[in-house]
């Protein structure tokens, strides 16, 4: 197990309905030293990539993105989520439908901050069905920028998002891929990865 998998085992809480709570260290209270270690690991996994921007989405992606960005020496751009905004020509907007919540959301980035010269590493905390991530990819493509890779803290390997993104040919690196969880006894099984 790697450092993030160990931390999930130690402090993650499995709830019924395949819910994994990591609010003690990742998305409500944040262990900044852990995020820094994640940044270092993403830098290692994407060492052969030229990256000019880290792209994430509010709110819980921002902390990770900032700590990752330190290791790449590039700025973060975070997309905003909105149920509906007045369309402004200066924004890239992706409509994404949540498979789980049956609602539509907009993912929005100002055109000032992504251009065709950008090489983008997309960072987020969770990947399940991948709706938010699909919006971030769509926005990067709209800008004519290049998606160099996608770094995720925790992927739910039993949901479809990761498969879809890998099928599309993107380099997707998830630090922990949960294969299965059991809320009755609190166990979590991770997919084995060879990232040595």
| Sites of contact with its own copies (CB under 8 A) | 23-25, 28-33, 35-36, 58-59, 62-63, 65-67, 69-70, 73-78, 80, 109-110, 112-113
Cβ proximity to its own copies: between 18 and 82 the closer is: 82
Cβ proximity to its own copies: between 72 and 190 the closer is: 72
**Least Cβ distance, residue 152 to its own copies (angstroms):** 18
Phi then psi for residue 38, to 5 deg, are -65, -40
The phi-psi region of residue 169 (left if phi > 0; otherwise alpha if psi is between -120 and 50; otherwise beta) is left
Which residue's structure tokens are 């921002």? 62
**Least Cβ distance, residue 59 to its own copies (angstroms):** 4
Pairing of strands 53-57, 76-82: parallel
**Least Cβ distance, residue 73 to its own copies (angstroms):** 8
**Least Cβ distance, residue 179 to its own copies (angstroms):** 27
Those residues with Cβ within 8 angstroms of residue 145's Cβ, 6 or more apart along the chain or in another chain: 53, 114, 115, 116, 117, 118, 119, 120
Return the CA Rg of the chain: 16
Taking a C-beta distance cutoff of 8 angstroms, is the pair 65, 76 a contact? yes
Cβ proximity to its own copies: between 38 and 152 the closer is: 38
Cβ proximity to its own copies: between 29 and 50 the closer is: 29
Cβ proximity to its own copies: between 34 and 165 the closer is: 34
Cα–Cα distance for residue pair 165/22, rounded to 1 Å: 23
**Least Cβ distance, residue 171 to its own copies (angstroms):** 23
Cα–Cα distance for residue pair 174/178, rounded to 1 Å: 10
**Least Cβ distance, residue 29 to its own copies (angstroms):** 4
Cβ proximity to its own copies: between 24 and 180 the closer is: 24
């Amino acid at each position: 197990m790697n450092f993030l998998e160990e931390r999930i085992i130690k402090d993650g809480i499995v709830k019924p309905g395949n819910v994994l709570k990591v609010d003690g260290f990742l998305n409500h209270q944040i262990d900044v030293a852990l995020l820094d270690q994640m940044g270092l690991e993403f830098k290692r996994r994407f060492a052969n990539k030229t990256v000019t921007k880290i792209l994430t989405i509010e709110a819980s992606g921002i902390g990770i993105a900032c700590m990752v960005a330190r290791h790449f020496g590039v700025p973060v751009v975070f997309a905003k989520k909105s149920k509906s905004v007045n369309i402004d020509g200066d924004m890239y907007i992706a409509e994404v439908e949540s498979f789980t919540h049956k609602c539509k959301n907009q993912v929005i980035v100002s055109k000032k901050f992504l251009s065709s010269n950008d090489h983008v590493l997309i960072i987020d905390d969770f990947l399940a069905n991948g709706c938010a991530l699909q919006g971030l990819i769509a926005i990067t493509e709209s800008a004519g920028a290049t998606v160099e890779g996608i770094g995720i803290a925790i992927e739910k390997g039993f949901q479809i998002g990761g498969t879809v993104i890998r099928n599309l040919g993107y380099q997707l690196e998830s630090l922990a891929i949960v294969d299965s969880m059991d809320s009755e006894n609190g166990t979590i099984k991770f997919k084995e990865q060879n990232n040595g």
